[in-house]
Amino acid sequence: MTSVKDNLIRVKASLPERVTLVAVSKFHPAEAISEAYSVGQRDFGESRAQELASKAPSLPEDIRWHFIGHLQTNKVRSVVASAHLIQSVDSIKLLREIDKEAKRVGRVIDVLLEVHVAAEDTKSGFTPAEIVRMLTPGLIGSLSHTRITGIMGMASNVDDDDRIAADFDALRSVYDTLRGGVMAPYPDFNTLSMGMSHDCQLAIAHGSNMVRIGTDIFGQREY
């Protein structure tokens, strides 16, 4: 088996410089994260609040933790304590809870809105129509401690490149619509997070500037 270091160097070399690599370390031990850290990786993705809370304290403080899993409102406090970017905001209730907790601890937190375009119902997120409808200047203005810096999405889990490409185009189109519309006054709205191990090159070709890669760096996850 190749090492995490070698994998990371190879993956990194395959990405254009403008694309941020989030190394998805969920279900992998702190030692694997340390190995990636030792060759310069700083952005790591976790999908469970408890796992993040148990790993973060033992690892270097300059790691930027990305929360990418479904987040329940009762776990927001623990995630806000260590997350650099919460990528998986899939309801207004969650957005308001994040804002409240960030305010309570006196920090401003960055979030991405999760947009659902994939064929599977199991994936969460706002539909493109919902997001355009709900993201009003009033809502944005009511958030005092949360910055919406982009959107995150996943393509369908299928073997059909045309379908995957169409999903990425749909995400890109939501991103462009918001950037040219309600988010135009906010230049920090600049992140389009899409692409995983198996589809990241296609995602980049369709406009992604942040990819979330687990398997290609850390190997298969053991559940």
Ligand X SMILES: *Cc1c(COP(=O)(O)O)cnc(C)c1O
Q: Which residues bind ligand X (CB under 6 A)?
A: 24, 26, 47, 68-69, 196-197, 212-215
Whose CA is closest to 32, among 124, 15, 23? 23
Shortest Cβ 185–ligand X spacing (Å): 28
Shortest Cβ 214–ligand X spacing (Å): 3
C-beta closer to ligand X: residue 196 or 202? 196
SS3 assignment, position 220: coil
C-beta closer to ligand X: residue 11 or 109? 11
C-beta closer to ligand X: residue 56 or 112? 112
Helix/strand/coil (H, E, C) string of 54-112? HHHHHCCCCCEEEECCCCCHHHHHHHHHHEEEEEEECCHHHHHHHHHHHHHCCCCEEEE
Q: Give CA angle at 95 (134, 76), nearest 5°.
A: 160
Shortest Cβ 103–ligand X spacing (Å): 26
C-beta closer to ligand X: residue 68 or 170? 68
Shortest Cβ 220–ligand X spacing (Å): 8
C-beta closer to ligand X: residue 128 or 214? 214
Shortest Cβ 132–ligand X spacing (Å): 22
What does the alpha-carbon distance between residue 153 and residue 164 come to, in Å, rounded to a whole number?
12
C-beta closer to ligand X: residue 9 or 139? 9
- Non-local (6+) Cβ contacts of 139 within 8 A are 92, 95
User: Which residue minimizes CB distance to ligand X?
Assistant: 214
- Non-local (6+) Cβ contacts of 56 within 8 A are 63, 65, 82
Q: Give CA angle at 126 (145, 209), nearest 5°.
A: 70
- Residue 112's DSSP bridge partners are 150
Shortest Cβ 17–ligand X spacing (Å): 20
